Amino acid sequence: MQSETQRVRLAERALKTFLKESAPTRRWRIGPPVEAVGESDIIDLVTDLLLFAETNGFDPSSVVRKAEIHLLAETGHRR
């Protein structure tokens, strides 16, 4: 299993790819520097992932609930 650090790096690459691919409607033509990524960018990616889940027959609300439970379990309930 990947370490938390490796998973965070993978998530960062996924977000940068998402921002680059959506460049025509975004401010970044290439991946943004890490410090320039905002909460709204992360929310946009998560929302699109939930739309993807819905089009594949999953309930987005259920996915969010399960993701929260999974996050709390993996982080030792820290917030």
> Total domain count for the chain?
1
The answer to whether residue 56 is domain-embedded is yes
CA pair distance 77, 62, nearest whole angstrom: 19
The answer to whether residue 79 is domain-embedded is no
The answer to whether residue 53 is domain-embedded is yes
pLDDT in tens, 43-72: 999 999 999 999 999 999 999 999 999 999
Report residue 13: phi and psi, to 5°.
Answer: -65, -40
Please report the pLDDT score of residue 38 as a whole number: 84
CB 30 within 8 A of CB 20: yes
Range of the domain at 10: 4-74
CB 19 within 8 A of CB 37: yes
Q: Work out the percent of the chain whose per-residue pLDDT is above 70.
A: 78
